[in-house]
Amino acid sequence: MKGINLEKLNDEGVESLPSKERRQFLQFGLSISGVFLGGSLLSLTSAHEAQGALNSGKVPVAEFPYSPHYTMVIRQSHCIDCERCLEACRNTNNVPAHGYRTNILERSIPIAQGQRERAFMPILCNHCNHPPCVRVCPTQATYKDKTNGIVQMNPDKCIGCKTCMAACPYNARYFKEEARTIDKCNFCYDTKLKESGGKITACAAACPAGVRIFGDLTDPESEAYKLIHAPGNVLWVLRPETDTLPNVFYLDT
Amino acid sequence: MTFYQKTNTLPSTSMNRLLIFMALALISGIGLSFGLHSMLVGHDHTFGTTREVPWGILISPYVFFACLSTGLCIVSSLGQVFGISTFRPLVPRTVFLALITMATGLMCITLELENPWRVGFYALLSPHQSSNIWWKTTIYSLYLIFMVLNFMSLTLKKEQRAKVFATIAFVAVTMGNLNMNSDMELLGARGFWSENYMPLYFLSLSTLTGCAAILLFSWIGKTFSGQRPETKDEMALKATGKLFMVLLLGILYFTGVKIMGGFFPQFTKNPEAMFLLVQGDFALNFWIGEVGLAVLLPLTLIFVTGGEKSNILALAGISCLTGVFVLFYDLVIVGQLIPHYQQYNIVDLPKYYSYSPSLHEIMITTGAIFFFLAAFILGEMLFKKIYDS
């Protein structure tokens, strides 16, 4: 088979290209790269920043601490799953049977070879300092209260896209069909908290075992403050990998 | 009494098209009426979504049609904005397709909302600039307006004005596409679309579906009219076919990355979801839809036939579009099925949440697809001269 002898071929060079063709080619390349560069610059929340909201907290939605800065400490080992907190929450906040603002999960924790320990873990909205739900809401129907840091809902503004439900790492939201809005724990802001002068929530008041300790992170006299700052107490938060900076703390002792 | 008249002239081509349009519009109407019913009684009673899996199948046609519109806009821009003469014959039909696909996408997301009537008020009165959804909806709405203006200018033969609108629409839809990805990526709390390659994957997929739609609907348009395609049209379709093939190879690479993630957890940020997709309950969707229909079958058809025959290119197009629809369904649903508290040894917590679309959701999706098809046929009836000019 006879191959092409490249060495004997003349170099055509780019000089032989018509200048119009060259200009068009350059123009095309520059336009494409320019527009796409513009697209990535103009994208107001680039992929990097979007990830930052969860992983490195680069997009805070508000300044903190608040005053008062409401918090809850949950003494997991005290919980006996009597569910009085759930009942109190339902009755106080008019929660329908198909939903819940707070729940108790049963854990089976491995402690040694072939041995497991049962524990009950109450869950509720963590009123995060970097709440993904607030970040994604297109109409500010859910927002971080600038006074006390509670993640609140304005039901009138909710369009029902349920993105906040998808974004919440704690499964703390549900759609309340009766009111056509997302419903969630607001530390009983408009019910028990108001009645008690900002001292206690319905679930904390109903708990017979002192599991749920509600308080103010900026008040040294608050029991929650003392538990959080007591030397030797090891506290943990749910799903720390999402970097939401929760305001609900768990204590095993 | 005469009940019918025997005639040799009916049905004419235009009559055929009218009947097809009416049939498509009827099916679309039936499907979309399920959406209105859901809106009235509430999604809790009609949708398969739950507290744990709040986004259902209706997000998929939204993402699919929005990405398809993006791709169509990008390909039409090659001829209209960047001045590549080979692609110019495709511009009018492609612009119209881009317009109706975005309208279909926005209709899907409207029917997916529980309170869509509040969007008009609060998107304007209480906008949230940190929300990707707000930006995306706003950008896509503006894009739709500019595409309408673009198409109107094309029908009025105002080429320069059309180019300006096309340029703005092109920039807008690119931004929208990036926001679409960021919107989903933000939901990393649930192991959603947070892979590094996603922005490029989204743009490539969008352009791929745009090419596939052009190959398919140009062929249908020509077949319906019974005309032989002109040389310039054939050249344009061949060029689109080549672009389609290159993009298929690109998507094949991304599919390979997904497969790696499904088999080797170290290659993904989302191992549980990728396992579910590649080896778990969604494996059939993945291997038949995402790998077979979306990539391998179109590539095989093009390689075997040399990408010369327009009917084979159209077949490759419909196969790819079907596969990509499955891909978007998987992308929306699979990430949500990973339980929130899986690392806490919760008693009776399922390994994966479950979701199945309800009859209402399926009917709305069907209605949306038929709405698009009806609009396409309407375009073929009304704008044939503009397409051919």
CA dist., res. A97 & res. A142, Å (int): 23
Q: Please check whether residue B178 touches A, CB under 8 A.
A: yes
Please say if the pLDDT value at position B184 is more than 80. no
* Mean pLDDT on A101-115: 94
How much of chain B, in percent, has pLDDT values that exceed 70? 92
Interface touch B171/A38, C-beta < 8 Å: yes
CA dist., res. A141 & res. A74, Å (int): 28
Beta pairing partners, A112: A115
Q: What are B256's two structure tokens?
A: 């390979």
pLDDT band at A196 (very low <50, low <70, confident <90, very high): confident
- Give the closest residue to B194 by CA, choosing from B205, B202, B203, B186: B186
Residue B314 within any structural domain of the chain? yes
Report CA B75 to chain centroid distance, whole Å: 14
Q: Which of A35, A74, A111, A159 to mutate to test the interface with B (most CBs of B within 10 A)?
A: A159
Residue B147 within any structural domain of the chain? yes
Q: Is A81 exposed, middle or buried (0-12, 13-18, 19+ CB in 10 A)?
A: middle
CA dist., res. B55 & res. B112, Å (int): 9
Looking at residue B187, its pLDDT comes to: 63
Backbone CA torsion sign across A145, A171, A160, B326: positive
CATH number, residue B243: 1.20.1630.10
Contacts of A105 in chain B (CB under 8 A): 341, 344, 346-347, 349
pLDDT band at A5 (very low <50, low <70, confident <90, very high): low
Beta strands (DSSP E) in A79-137 are 103-112, 115-123
Contact B278, B330 (CB under 8 A): no
> Which residues 346-365 in chain B show a CB within 8 A of chain A?
346-349
* Mean pLDDT on B234-248: 92
The residue with tokens 């970040």 is: A135
Q: Where are the domains of chain A?
A: 54-128+186-251
* Mean pLDDT on B309-318: 92
A26: nearest CA in chain B?
B82
Please say if the pLDDT value at position B9 is more than 80. no
Number of H helices, E strands in chain B: 15, 0
pLDDT digits (tens, 9 = 90+) for B60-100: 999 999 999 999 999 999 999 998 889 999 999 999 999 99
How much of chain A, in percent, has pLDDT values that exceed 90? 60
Contacts of A109 in chain B (CB under 8 A): 345
Other CB atoms within 10 Å distance of the CB of residue A224: 21
pLDDT band at A48 (very low <50, low <70, confident <90, very high): very low
Least confident of A49-53, A157-161, A212-216, B128-132: A49-53
Residue A116: strand, helix, or coil: strand
CATH classification number, A54-128+186-251, choose in 3.30.200.20, 3.40.50.620, 3.30.1180.10, 3.30.70.20? 3.30.70.20
For B280, the domain range is 13-114+124-388
B371 HSE (CA, 13 A, CB side): 23
How much of chain B, in percent, has pLDDT values that exceed 90? 65
* Mean pLDDT on B220-247: 85
Q: What are B363's two structure tokens?
A: 């009917």
Residue B369 within any structural domain of the chain? yes
Looking at residue A36, its pLDDT comes to: 46
Residue B104 within any structural domain of the chain? yes
Q: Which residue has the higher pLDDT, B222 or B197?
A: B222
Contacts of A238 in chain B (CB under 8 A): 341, 344
Q: Which residue has the higher pLDDT, A197 or A19?
A: A197
Residue B1 within any structural domain of the chain? no
Please say if the pLDDT value at position A39 is more than 60. no
CA dihedral B150, B151, B157, B161 (to 10 degrees): 0
Amino acid code (one letter) for B103: A
Residue B119 within any structural domain of the chain? no
Give the nearest partner residue to B123 out of A139, A156, A158, using CB atoms. A139
Contact A132, A241 (CB under 8 A): no
What single-letter DSSP state applies at residue A173? E
pLDDT digits (tens, 9 = 90+) for A118-156: 999 999 999 999 899 998 899 999 999 999 999 999 999
Q: Which of A26, A43, A134 to mutate to test the interface with B (most CBs of B within 10 A)?
A: A43
Q: Please check whether residue B20 touches A, CB under 8 A.
A: no
pLDDT band at B290 (very low <50, low <70, confident <90, very high): very high
Residue B191 within any structural domain of the chain? yes
Looking at residue A252, its pLDDT comes to: 83
Residue B335 within any structural domain of the chain? yes
CA dist., res. A174 & res. A96, Å (int): 10
Looking at residue A4, its pLDDT comes to: 59
Contacts of A45 in chain B (CB under 8 A): 130, 132, 135, 179, 182, 186
